[in-house]
C-alpha cells in the first residue's frame, strides 16, 4: 500500500479576519443628518420614514449626528402624544410616534440636537421640555459645526 508523503503544517491564513458588521461609532461622527420637515408622509408611510432611515444610516456609516430643525424639534418633545387624525369621516389611529423613534436613535448612540429657534417657535425652550439626552443647540453653533462633518444631508 502506498503511503502519501507527510505534508508540512499549514501556514496561517494571511487573509484578514472578517470585518465587524457593527463597528463602534467614532468619537465624532462624520455625517450630520438634518431633519426639518416633520410628519412628512405620516399618513401614507408604510415601511420607512426619515428617522428610520437615520437609524439605518447610523448603522451603515458607523455613526451620525441628527439635528432637528423647524417643526421637527417637536419629535423630541418630552410629554407629547400622537392623537388620532380625522380625515372627513375616517379616523386614522396608526400614525407612528416619532418620540419613540428618537428614543431608539438615542439608545443606538446617535447624538440628537434640537435647534433653538425651532424650540422657541413651538414653546419648547423651557427646562425639561425635551427627551433626555436631546441637546438644544443655537442656530449659529449648528451652522458653525457643518464644516466639521465630512457630509451633511437633509432627511
Sequence spans of domains, the chain: 31-154
Q: How much is the mean pLDDT over the chain?
A: 82
pTM, 2 dp: 0.75
**Tens-place pLDDT, residues 64-108:** 999 999 999 999 999 887 778 888 999 887 777 889 999 999 999
Lookup result for grid cell 436631546: 134
pLDDT computed for residue 49 by the predictor: 80
Using alpha carbons only, give the angle 140, 65, 103 rounded to the nearest 5 degrees.
Answer: 115
Confidence of residue 7 (pLDDT cuts 50, 70, 90): very low
Return the closest-CA partner of residue 123 out of 111, 132, 114. 114
Strand pairing partners for 35? 68
Write down the architecture of domain 31-154 according to CATH: 3-Layer(aba) Sandwich (3.40)
Amino acid at each position: 500500500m502506498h503511503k502519501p508523503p507527510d505534508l508540512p503544517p499549514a501556514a496561517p491564513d494571511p487573509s484578514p479576519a472578517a470585518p465587524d458588521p457593527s463597528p463602534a461609532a467614532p468619537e465624532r461622527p462624520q455625517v450630520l443628518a438634518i431633519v426639518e420637515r416633520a410628519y412628512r408622509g405620516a399618513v401614507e408611510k408604510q415601511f420607512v420614514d426619515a428617522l428610520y432611515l437615520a437609524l439605518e444610516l447610523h448603522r451603515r456609516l458607523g455613526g451620525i449626528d441628527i439635528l432637528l430643525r423647524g417643526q421637527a424639534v417637536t419629535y423630541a418633545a418630552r410629554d407629547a402624544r400622537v392623537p388620532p387624525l380625522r380625515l372627513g369621516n375616517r379616523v386614522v389611529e396608526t400614525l407612528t410616534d416619532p418620540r419613540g423613534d428618537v428614543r431608539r436613535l438615542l439608545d443606538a448612540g446617535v447624538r440628537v440636537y434640537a435647534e433653538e429657534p425651532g424650540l422657541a417657535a413651538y414653546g419648547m425652550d423651557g427646562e425639561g421640555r425635551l427627551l433626555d439626552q436631546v441637546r438644544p443647540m443655537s442656530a449659529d453653533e449648528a451652522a458653525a459645526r457643518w464644516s466639521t462633518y465630512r457630509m451633511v444631508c437633509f432627511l
